[in-house]
Chain A
Amino acid sequence: MRTYLAKRLLLIVPTLFGVAAVVFLIMRVIPGDVTLLILGGDQTGRIDPQQLAAMRHQLGLDQPIAVQFGTWLWGVLRLDFGTSLWTGQPVIEEVLIRLPLSLEVAILATIVSVLLAIPLGMVAAVRQDSWVDYVIRVVSIGGQAIPSFWVGILVILFLVIYFGWGPPLEFTPPWVDPWANFQQLVWPVATVGYRYAAVTTRMTRSTVLEVLREDYIRTAWAKGLRERAVVIRHALKNAMLPVITLVGTEFAFLIGGLVVTETVFTLNGVGRFVVDAVAHRDYPVVQALVFLIALCFVVVNLLIDLTYAWFDPRIRYH
């Protein structure tokens, strides 16, 4: 187990280094210069070359790319992600302002989806090819097919027309005013949760279907166990591994993957911050966010692998 853990932790290093290198290169290749965007130019659109050079020097953009990358990596090792080229604030502070909102939406959407998806997927599998299965499959495929930004637009439209509701301008944390927080996040959570539940329902259905064909399930039936015991105790527990993997990876990506939902609901979260940072060519912000999301992804993946042994005691780590 220890050797396995050490091996997995060691493998995280090249993956994160690769992500850091790729995102660093991508941001340098994207056309558009942040210094030009910041300076904007005078009324005729002209920019003083000396001012431009001074700004580039100030931001460290006049150094060779390898040096810039090295400096940035050294900062990351000390948990210093630099300062935003656009706002001048430390990146980590900017991220920490937005993280609670995205984290809350991601956690609530995960809870909603798991509570809906596991029972629905299980029922669909047990009643394969019945009308219940067809309804659950159609609703869950619909959840994956309908673009979340369109659902968001429809929800806002409905609420604006019938209830005079407007998207909130500022995020209220749950510890300040739980009711205001609930009102702000209920629709984004429902929108994201539906899509997320749809994916998880389909996965639960197909894995339970596979497990139900196993010999030990036939044995359980032959022993005369009740349906509830066969399905929940024997089938569901063994079908959970791929579902946990999916729930975990989707959660890791949700924090940064709320790009479109946050844009539609004008929520000032991490996802929207990425879009704005790409548009502004705010290199340190994009680099930091992608790096942190990737870190979250690999750590969650590792945790998922470690929970496998709890669900399936046959699994041993080498």
Chain B
Amino acid sequence: MAVDSSLIGASATAPLAARLTWPEQVSGFVRAKPLGAVGAIIILIMLLVAVLAHALAPYDPYLADYGAQFARPAADHWLGTDEFGRDVLSRIMYGARIALFVGFAASFAGCSLGAALGVVSAYCGGTVDLLLERAMDILLAFPQLILALAVASILGPAVPNVVIAVAIPIIPRAARVVRATALSIKENQYVEAAHGLGASHYRVVAQHLLPNVFAPYLIILTAQLGTAILAEAALSYLGLGAAEPTPSWGLMLSGSAPSYAEKAPWIGLFPGIAISLAVFGFSLFGDSLRDALDPKLRGK
């Protein structure tokens, strides 16, 4: 059959829609998802504060000043001081480093490992899928905080151990979500075509499955960031997270904060606001990102 070569040429050289520059993409996101933009701004501010804490913090967060114990919020100490005379604002600023480090490290590690297991489980199928699914069932049957509590008890109270304790319960949740997507992608004709062309298992997984599970991976990653920050705070509050005198937000709420609640409510008030604001920012951004990436949830 003769093929009109002029048609092929015309379609091949047809002008494509102009690619949006990243400022255009950002302004489009801000207009479409204002709440998501608010979340992104909160996250950006937190990141800046965490990175520049040494330059922005007015005092050394570890420095005890017994002459300034329980100082009320004022010009000297914007958010007051604690029972050791340490500046609350400086401790919150340095605390952002721990919260963000644990949040990013734990959710990245947990989601990545979970996604890898989910893809392997979906791709291999059969016994591998059955065994991995049962292993994920076992991890899911543990209440998240109790599992983190047990792991933190084994490893001892220290920030890197908190990352592991918080990351482990994330693994099965990420694995479930990614496995479900990978199972449907595996059935696509382009995967079959890749097999037909003699592509190795590694190539099919790396080039066809992994890029296509990136959207659910990103959604679960941003969703787990806030959860990880909350889990770190809860573990520190229970005495199994960061140890004194580390400026961790959860730790600042435990111990002395409730004891001096009447005398110096600011000790417990501001770290709580910091945790809530951080998780709020990640949730707003994560929600909007999910809405933007999931075609079913896009506005009319």
Which residues of A approach B to under 8 Å, CB–CB? 11, 14-16, 18-19, 22-23, 26-27, 29-31, 128-129, 134, 137-138, 141-142, 144-147, 149-150, 153-154, 156-157, 160-161, 202, 206, 209-210, 213, 253, 256-257, 259-260, 263, 274-275, 278, 286, 290, 293-294, 297-298
Cross-interface CB contact of A257 among B146, B153, B268, cutoff 8 Å = B146
A147, A209, A253 — most chain B CB neighbours (10 Å): A147
Cross-interface CB contact of A253 among B137, B144, B153, B272, cutoff 8 Å = B144
Q: Measured between alpha carbons, how far is A173 from B145 in the docked complex, in Å?
A: 27
A161 adjacent to B296 (CB under 8 Å): no
**What are 16 A-B contacts with C-beta separation under 8 Å?**
A14-B134, A16-B141, A23-B142, A23-B150, A26-B154, A128-B299, A137-B287, A138-B35, A144-B226, A149-B237, A153-B257, A209-B297, A260-B145, A260-B238, A293-B141, A293-B142
Other 12 A-B pairs with CB < 8 A, given A157-B268, A160-B262, A256-B143: A18-B137, A19-B138, A22-B138, A27-B150, A145-B230, A146-B272, A146-B279, A147-B253, A150-B253, A156-B258, A256-B146, A257-B146
Q: How far is the CB of B254 from chain A (nearest CB, A)?
A: 9
If the complex has contacts A29-B154, A260-B234, A278-B149, are A145 and B280 also in contact, measured as CB distance less than 8 A?
Answer: yes
Q: Measured between alpha carbons, how far is A293 from B52 in the docked complex, in Å?
A: 44
B297 adjacent to A206 (CB under 8 Å): yes
Does B128 count as interface, using CB distance less than 8 angstroms? no
- The B235-275 residues at the A interface (CB cut-off 8 A) are 237-238, 250, 253, 257-258, 261-262, 265, 268-269, 272, 275
A274 adjacent to B149 (CB under 8 Å): yes
A144, A149, A263 — most chain B CB neighbours (10 Å): A149
Cross-interface CB contact of B287 among A16, A141, A142, A147, cutoff 8 Å = A141
Does B58 count as interface, using CB distance less than 8 angstroms? no
Give the residue name and chain of the A residue nearest to B149 (CB).
A278
**Residues in chain A near residue B160, CB distance under 8 A:** none
